[in-house]
Structure formats: C-alpha cells, structure tokens
C-alpha cells in the first residue's frame, strides 16, 4: 500500500490543480470578464452576491442528498458539476451581447464551482477512510500553486487575446477534471454500483455510528451556539474578514487600474498571493503544535486588516504587491487554522457542522461585500470602498480577539 501512496496523492493533486486553475478563470477574473461584457460595478456585485447566496443555500442541500443512501456520491457529484460548468462556458462563448443570458449562466457556473469545493474535501476523507493514503496538505497547497501559475499566465493572455480566452481555458480544465475524477475510483469500486461511501464534508463515521451520534449532535443552531459560544462569536469576525478579503479580490482589476496597472498586473498579483499559500498550508501543522489555533486565527485576522489598510495608502503597484504579500499570513493561515480549531474544540458529531458554519460565514461576508462594494465603487470611488473594508476588518479583529482570547472554548 505504501508504494501506492504517492499515486493517490498525485491523482488527488491533479483534481485540486485543475479545480483551482478553473477557479482562477471563473472567480478571480469574474470582474474582468463581466466588465468587458458591459456590466457595471454594481451589476457585477449583484451577480456575485446572487451566486454566493445561491451557493450558500445549495451546499447543505447537496450535502444532505449525498449523505443519503443512493446513486449520488461525492465523486459523481463532482463529475456532474464540472460537466455543467463546461456546458455553461460553451454557452457563454456564443453569447456576447445578451446580458441577461450571461448573467444567468455565469451566476450558475460561479455558484456550482463554489459549491463543489467542499465536496472535494469530502472526497479526500472518503478515500482516506478506504485506505487510500493522500497527503492532503501538499495536494491543497499545489492547488494554490496551480491558481498562481494560471493567474500569471492569464493576466497577459487576456490583455493580448481578450476575455474569451478565459472560457477556452475553463472548458479545457473542466474536460480534464471530468476525465481525472471519472477514473478516480477506490480499490474494488465498480462504476454503476452504490458502493461509494455516502459521506460528505469530511464525515468519517459509519452509518451506524452516525445514527448513534445524531441524538448527541447539536443540530439546532441555538443549541450549537450555546455549546460553542466562542466559536459563534468568531463567526461574526469571519464575516468581517471576508468582507474585506472579497472586496479586494472581486474588484482587484479596478484597484489595479487606479494604480496604473492592467490585466497583466492583475495576473501577477493573483500569482503572488496564491503561490505564497503553498508553503504555509504545507507547514501550518508544525506551527500549530507551538501556537494555538485560536491565537493563529486572531493573527490571520490582523493580517486581513493590514492587507487592505496598505491599499488605502498605495500609490503604485508596489503597494498592491506589498498588500498581496500579506496573503501569507491572512488567508493561508486562516483556512487550515479554522479547520484545526473546529477539530480541537468540537465533539466529533459537531465537527462537520462547524466546518460548514465557517464556510457559511465566509460566504455571507462575500455576499455583503458583493452588494456594498460595487455600489460604493460606482458612486464614491475606490478609496472610500477600501476605507469601508478596512473599518469592517478592524472590527473583525476586535471580535476575534474577544472570542479566541477572552472567551476561549473548551472541548465539548
């Protein structure tokens, strides 16, 4: 089995690498594509907000369906998702002037791609339980590296060939994803059967133990908050952090143009912040043995604040690149630290919900950012938008400190 460990890690890495390459073309460059097709900043914000809200509503429904006995599994859902995204991208290739159609189709593929990201994590836990040893940190880190490389390439490609190149790359990556995921089968698994593990979002317990834990789980949100009050307060801070984070990411092209750059510099900026995630995500486990996950979450929140604060005073692309460098301490620390925190402080039957609530808080932060940032940008300009984001991030740091240091959270 040891000789096959690298084989499983390689294949799972390919799934991550292809996903984040497409994530770059759909999510990171969404504003570039939509603005080029006649959308205003406000309309871009509304479209992304609709997509994020829909994704937040669909994710628990998708998880519930996958959890139930039946045909739909983690792997099959991913295959369906990439097929729909590929079809949607092909529709957009021939729809250059119909804004309503573009709005609907882009929102759908944006939503579906975001929705199947946690299912990829669930796929990892499922295969680990089946004995397929996978180095998750390396695979996820190389996914970020794939995002970085794609960003660096696509910035210049868009400047030379236009936004249509985004759709071409997206179709190619989705086609390759479908092939890789289709052939990614557990030992002894037969296509068409129902022998896939029916677990989503990382649940590693058997059906029998799930039924046993169900009576002990805090499925009611109020009960969950009472059991994990520090975590519940921290979710508010998470919303604040990702309000600022999404503000930068969704309207990065406008910020960069204000600093004298363009699509090429956008690619460099995305490359810089994404490539920095690789070493941190690969090594964060060692850091968390020395420093508590709660303190690291406060630290990452402070980095989100500094990252957007720098942009208020930036006068050239040097300021933008300096800001993006703080991704090393912000997003790259937050994602793994949040996962460790949930694992350390919550009972086993509440950990899946804990991870889901973190994802929901991130999504809610993005929704508020989508709705507010575009309006401020259209009516007041870039600096007022960045000041708003900085204030919200600062409030998040205060809330996070109170939750993680003052309140703390004991293992339930």
Q: What is the pTM of this model?
A: 0.72
Q: How far is CA 55 from CA 16, 63, 108, 351, 410, in A?
A: 19, 12, 9, 21, 31
Backbone angles phi, psi at 202, to 5 degrees: 90, 10
19, 117 Cβ separation under 8 angstroms: yes
Distance, CA of 58 to CA of 63 (rounded, Å): 9
Q: Tell me if 349 sits within 8 A of 214, measured CB to CB.
A: yes
- Within 10 angstroms of residue 405's Cβ, the number of other Cβ atoms is 13
Dihedral sign, CA of 113, 231, 128, 63?
negative
HSE of 132, CA atoms in CB hemisphere, 13 A: 20
Cα–Cα dist 251/366, whole Å? 12
* Contact status, residue 307 vs residue 248, Cβ threshold 8 Å: yes
* pLDDT on residue 370: 78
Count Cα atoms within 13 angstroms, Cβ side, for 152: 10
Q: Distance between CA atoms of 114 and 107, rounded to whole angstroms?
A: 11
Question: CA triplet 334, 335, 338: central angle to 5 degrees?
Answer: 75
CB crowding 262-275: b at 16 or more within 10 Å, else e: ebbbbbbbbbbbbb
Q: What is the CA radius of gyration of the chain?
A: 21
Q: Which residues contact 3 (CB under 8 A, 6 or more apart)?
A: none
**Alpha-carbon span 410 to 165, nearest angstrom:** 50
Q: Are 235 and 357 in contact (CB under 8 A)?
A: yes
pLDDT, one tens digit for every residue, the chain (412 residues): 444 667 888 999 999 999 999 988 888 788 888 988 888 888 888 898 888 888 877 776 776 676 666 788 888 989 999 999 999 999 999 887 788 999 999 999 999 988 887 778 778 777 877 888 887 777 878 888 888 888 778 877 887 888 889 999 999 999 999 999 999 887 766 655 555 444 444 444 334 344 444 446 565 678 888 888 999 999 999 999 999 999 998 888 889 999 998 878 887 888 888 788 878 887 777 788 888 888 999 999 999 999 999 999 999 999 999 999 998 899 889 988 887 788 788 876 676 677 778 877 888 898 888 789 888 988 899 999 999 999 999 999 999 999 998 887 555 5
Going along the chain from its start, the domains and CATH numbers come out as 1-204 (1.20.1250.20), 212-412 (1.20.1250.20)
């Amino acid at each position: 089995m040891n000789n096959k460990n690298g084989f499983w890690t390689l294949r799972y890495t390919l799934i991550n690498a292809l996903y984040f390459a497409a994530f770059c073309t759909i999510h990171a460059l969404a504003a570039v594509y939509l603005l080029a097709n006649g959308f205003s900043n406000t309309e871009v914000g509304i479209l992304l907000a609709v997509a994020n809200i829909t994704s937040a509503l669909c994710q628990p429904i998708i998880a519930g369906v996958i959890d139930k006995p039946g045909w739909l599994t983690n792997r099959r859902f991913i295959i369906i998702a990439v097929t729909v995204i590929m079809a949607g991208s092909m529709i957009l290739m021939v729809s250059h002037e119909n804004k309503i159609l573009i709005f609907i189709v882009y929102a759908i593929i944006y939503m579906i791609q975001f929705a199947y990201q946690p299912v990829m994590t669930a796929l990892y836990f499922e295969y680990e339980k089946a004995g397929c040893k996978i180095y998750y940190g390396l695979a996820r880190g190389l996914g970020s590296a794939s995002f970085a490389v794609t960003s660096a390439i696509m910035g210049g490609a868009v400047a030379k060939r236009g936004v249509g190149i985004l759709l071409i790359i997206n179709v190619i990556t989705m086609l390759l994803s479908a092939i890789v995921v289709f052939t990614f089968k557990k030992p002894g698994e037969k296509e068409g059967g129902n022998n896939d593990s029916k677990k989503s979002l990382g649940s590693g317990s058997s059906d029998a133990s799930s039924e046993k834990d169900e009576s002990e789980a805090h499925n009611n949100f109020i009960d969950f908050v009472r059991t994990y009050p520090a975590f519940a307060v921290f979710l508010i801070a998470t919303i604040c952090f990702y309000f600022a984070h999404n503000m930068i990411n969704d309207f990065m092209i406008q910020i960069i143009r204000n600093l004298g750059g363009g699509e090429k510099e956008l690619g460099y900026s995305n490359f810089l912040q994404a490539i920095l995630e690789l070493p941190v995500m690969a090594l964060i486990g060692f850091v968390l043995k020395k420093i508590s996950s709660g303190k690291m979450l406060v630290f990452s929140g402070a980095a989100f604040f500094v990252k957007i604060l720098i942009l208020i005073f930036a006068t050239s692309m040097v300021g933008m690149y300096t800001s993006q460098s703080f991704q090393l301490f912000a997003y790259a620390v937050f994602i793994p630290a949040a996962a460790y925190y949930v694992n350390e402080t919550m009972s086993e039957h509440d950990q899946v919900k804990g991870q889901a609530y973190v994802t929901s808080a991130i999504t809610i932060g993005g929704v508020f950012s989508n709705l507010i940032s575009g309006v401020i940008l259209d009516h007041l300009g870039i600096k007022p938008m960045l000041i708003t984001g900085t204030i919200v991030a600062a409030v998040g740091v205060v809330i996070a400190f109170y939750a993680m240091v003052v309140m703390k959270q004991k293992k339930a």
